[in-house]
Amino acid sequence: MQILITDIVDAAIIIGFIALFVLSDIFLRNRLKLSISGIGADLAIGAFVIQMAVLANLLTGENIADVAVIQINMAISLVFAGVWVLCVWLPTKNTAVMTAISYIVGTAALAASTWNLLGTHQANTVPIITVSALGIGGIGFLVADSLYKEHTSQRFEHITSDTTAYDLTEACRKSAAGVYSIDPVQPAVDIIRGAVRDHDHTTARIGIRSISGFGLKVITGSKGTVTIAKHLNSHLYQVGVLAMLEKESVVLGEVIDAIGNIGYASSTSGSETAAVECLITIDSIFEALKKHAHDEKAQQKLAVVSGRIAFVSSGAKQIDSVEKAVVILKNIGFEAAANYHDAALLEVKGALMEIAKLSSENELYASTKQAVIALRDIGLKSSQQQREGEKPKALWEVISGMRELGQSLGSSGIEDVIGALRDIGIAVVRIHSVTEVSRVVAAIEHQGEYASENGLDEGASGAVAAILEICETSIKEQLKVAVTSSAAALSRLSRVEALSVSVNDAVFELGKYKGTDSEGEMYSFFEDAYKRMSTGRK
């Protein structure tokens, strides 16, 4: 029983010492405003110092230890030196996980060196000490991280808490007039820029969010809203470019979100001009992104915030900001299609479709058409940049989006959707992309059936005319698969009573290609396919 009690006492001493060391280091670094990422290294160097004390005692004590024992402890010293190097390196990866691991590794090293110092070497204490050390390391990281975030938040809060919209607009006005003035948010921006250069994600993110929060607080739709939005966006843009240069994608994402929040608040408060200013900044970041880094996640975020501003602007019937957002989304779509960034492209497609729907609901028909045309242009661009042997996912996404969009828009936009699909169809015929032609023709056929069922006569006849144009182009391009797809679609549409006359007229129109030349042969191929499918034979 005495041995068990001794083991427990030894374990308690080691655990208590480790806990005291960790907490003291955390509060000391917090007090001195030092980075918490170095605590793991502090623990490791503590372990190394203790081990050196053990080694010194072995070499200078009254009873000099065996050579083998000294060699073992020298090897242990080298191990702790390596652990210290590891704990210095881990936080440089700039992730919370790596920093937490450095805490745990450092704590384990300190526990091992203290255990060796006491000289008990009882195996009974190893599991208790190991588990406790790992727990103390993990809890220590959480405590340090929480304290650091709280301290950093208070630091930025102190800078922005007393600043009003009037203070900021006055500073901007004086600066524009060439009069010396103090920018109220400049100290916060300087801290953020320093954090980005030091790869301190926590400080940078908290700082950017504080500027965003300050913007939301002072943007009220008053006369100074445009000035405030423009000024804050200028600072955020500079931070964003710095984040690109430093390859800090996390910080760049925070910048994009902050600009989006300011734009959303501007539009909500009724300041369309301020919302447009935010979209201009988003566009500038996108252009800078193309030069410095092809970051798919950043492109995706740009699409998200542009769409978010456009959605609320559409509801408020703010045409300029909606149109600007559509232009940005189209450009992002071009870049995503060119670089095969599927996630960004999906976000662009979803945003443009939602803009088209909301604009239609709010009777902004010009914006609806612009969104449809933007989708079409992305489809055309992706068809031109299709790599040989690769699936044109971008084009497929556009076609599927158009198929769904036609039904959603109804009479206010189905003709625009059919026209866009026709243009895409003709383009893919000219590059002999047979699979995509079939998809486009099927989508147009679907629009025609929907239009006919819902009494949208112009849309229904427009679908027949679109398939006719694609078929004519296919005949000229000598593309049999596309001709077959067109013949099949027209054959099925001819069975719809309201469309039978239009289809017959279309087939009659194709009769001009009769003859003995190559186009005549293609017409004969069409005629045979149409008749065969009309009678149900394959």
Lookup: tokens for 426: 């003709």
Residue 470 in this model has a pLDDT that exceeds 70: yes
What angle (nearest 5°) sits at the alpha carbon of residue 278, between those of residues 272 and 284? Answer: 140
Flag the least confident range among 163-167, 211-215, 232-236, 463-467: 163-167
pLDDT of residue 398: 87
Report the alpha-carbon distance of residue 298 to residue 255 in Å, rounded.
10
Residue 23 in this model has a pLDDT that exceeds 60: yes
pLDDT tens digits, 400-432: 888 888 888 877 788 999 999 999 999 988 888
Residue 180 in this model has a pLDDT that exceeds 70: no
Give the pLDDT band of residue 277 (cuts 50, 70, 90).
very high
pLDDT tens digits, 318-329: 999 999 999 999
Residue 457 in this model has a pLDDT that exceeds 60: yes
Report the alpha-carbon distance of residue 360 to residue 202 in Å, rounded.
42
pLDDT tens digits, 338-382: 888 888 888 999 999 999 999 988 888 899 999 999 999 998 888
Residue 109 in this model has a pLDDT that exceeds 60: yes
pLDDT of residue 443: 92
Could you please report the per-residue DSSP string of 262-302? HHHHHHHTT-HHHHHHHHHHHHHHHHHHHHH---HHHHHHH
Residue 436 in this model has a pLDDT that exceeds 50: yes
pLDDT of residue 390: 65
Q: How far is CA 446 from CA 248, 310, 451, 486, 527, in A?
A: 46, 29, 9, 13, 22
CB 359 within 8 A of CB 305: no
- Rounded to an integer, the average pLDDT of 96-112 is 87
Q: What percent of the chain has pLDDT over 70?
A: 92
Residue 1 in this model has a pLDDT that exceeds 50: no
The residues, ordered by sequence, that sit 6+ positions from 105 with a Cβ below 8 Å of its Cβ are 40, 44, 83, 86, 87, 90, 137
- Residue in 343, 251, 254 with CA at minimum distance from that of residue 297: 343
Around 169, how many Cα atoms within 13 Å sit in the side-chain half-sphere? 13
Report the alpha-carbon distance of residue 123 to residue 111 in Å, rounded.
14
Q: Which 8-state DSSP code applies to residue 412?
A: G
Residue 197 in this model has a pLDDT that exceeds 80: yes
Give the pLDDT band of residue 121 (cuts 50, 70, 90).
low
Give the pLDDT band of residue 538 (cuts 50, 70, 90).
very low
- Residue in 382, 373, 289 with CA at minimum distance from that of residue 323: 373
pLDDT of residue 263: 92
pLDDT tens digits, 285-321: 999 998 876 778 899 999 999 999 999 999 888 999 9
Around 373, how many Cα atoms within 13 Å sit in the side-chain half-sphere? 9
What is the CB neighbour count within 10 angstroms for residue 177? 8
